[in-house]
Amino acid sequence: MVAVLDGKSEVIDAVNMKSDTKTAKKAAADAKPKKPILARKLVPTLTKEFCGGVKLREYPDASGTNNCVMVTGFAHGTSLTPFIAANFLVDQLKLPLVATLSAPELPARAIVERGQPAPGIRIHGNANGVCVALCEFKIPSNPIINGVIEAVVDFSARHNIKCILSAEGVPRAPVAEVSSESARDKTEEEAIQEKEAREDAEKVLFLTTCEDIADTLLLANDKPTPITAPESQDKKSESEPLLGKESNEQTTASVGVDKIVYKPLDDAVINGITGGLIAEASLTGLEVCCILVPASAVMPLDVSAAAKVVETVRTLVPGLELDMTPLQSKAKQLKLTERDIEAMKEEAEAQPAGYGNMYM
């Protein structure tokens, strides 16, 4: 009887050893570098041409963007804030490529994401309520810019896009730290005025054709900002958002940025794709919302400003599951770098002109 049990034990050991061997082989196979095979070959289902030779190609997944909110993230000037926010949404929501835009005068380049190459200007999206149009380089000429605007408007009209949210990073002048001696010399009224000026400079300006969006953003100003509220504990808003009947509450403090305060934009000149989309909105009946986010004047990669764009999207589109931790850590890291750069600039400006300490 004991021998039989020993035999069963030996069989079990052999089976376990075989299983362990298979597991080890699988782990070794997974550890090997994968061959650079394209994720898929895209076959356009629609091709249209616009101003400046801009060609729009749509792929089968484009139908999943119907009735979504489109977020545009085009690099403009010295700020990459719109692109950082747009790229974060694509990564977090795992949005597939649904359309590409190309033009003869654009630089020849391929952007490879998750094994899928695409031209620099592209559109991602699916049925989760958001699609994203983005480009990480500055579009070089006005004819191509106008062609991109036409293509975005055409895409939005055919897919019943609820609203286009176009963001711009507006460089702000760095505010110098006030020394303790200077602070003592200030009157209480001057200190209050300086504080109000700082707060006003950090407000997110917006211009929209949609009354519901304006109401939602202004109502968000009155909501408290949780200090460390996790995603799962966000309270629901009483406002009426663009999609659905519930809205995410502001959680900007959890990503290392201050509470967002929105302010309507009265007078401004808005250039580029954002300005063109706002201008087209009055002619096409398309709903457009433009937000101008204060961004660093010395750091093109202002992640804190990008976080404000993402939080605005969460305010307008409820139910988005986003892990804001990557933005939080990057924002803190770049904030320290920005302070170091500003300190070095102030030190350099304080030194007298001449050869300095070079030959001393």
* CATH number of the domain that residue 127 is part of: 3.40.50.10900
> Would you say residue 60 lies in a domain?
yes
- 11 versus 131: which is more confidently predicted? 131
For the whole prediction, is pTM greater than 0.85?
Answer: no
The predicted-structure confidence for 242-267, as pLDDT tens digits, reads as follows: 655 454 444 444 444 568 999 999 88
pLDDT at position 327 is: 77
> Would you say residue 121 lies in a domain?
yes
> Would you say residue 249 lies in a domain?
yes
- Report the pLDDT averaged over residues 20-27: 63
Which residue range forms the structural domain that includes residue 287?
Answer: 46-173+200-346
- 127 versus 218: which is more confidently predicted? 218
Query: Is the per-residue pLDDT at 274 higher than 90?
Result: yes
Give the closest residue to 133 by CA, choosing from 82, 205, 93: 82
- Write b or e for each residue in 303-319: b if 16 or more Cβ atoms lie within 10 A of its Cβ, otherwise e: bbbbbbbbbbbbbbbbe
The owner of tokens 């070095």 is 344
The percentage of the chain sitting over the pLDDT mark of 70, rounded to a whole number, equals: 64
> Would you say residue 283 lies in a domain?
yes
> Would you say residue 189 lies in a domain?
no
> Would you say residue 83 lies in a domain?
yes
Give the closest residue to 298 by CA, choosing from 174, 200, 136: 174
Confidence band of 107 (pLDDT split at 50, 70, 90):
confident
* C-alpha span between 156 and 161 (Å, rounded): 5
> Would you say residue 247 lies in a domain?
yes
The predicted-structure confidence for 307-355, as pLDDT tens digits, reads as follows: 999 999 999 998 888 888 877 666 556 554 545 445 544 554 455 544 4
The predicted-structure confidence for 156-180, as pLDDT tens digits, reads as follows: 999 999 999 999 988 876 555 555 4
Strands 163-172 and 288-296: parallel
- 289 versus 195: which is more confidently predicted? 289
| Number of domains the chain contains | 1
Of 89-103, 116-130, 184-198, 276-290, the range with the lowest mean pLDDT is 184-198
> Would you say residue 185 lies in a domain?
no
pLDDT at position 359 is: 36
Average pLDDT, the chain: 76
Query: Is the per-residue pLDDT at 230 higher than 50?
Result: no
The predicted-structure confidence for 24-60, as pLDDT tens digits, reads as follows: 666 665 666 666 666 667 789 989 999 999 999 999 8
* C-alpha span between 190 and 6 (Å, rounded): 90
Residue type, 213: I
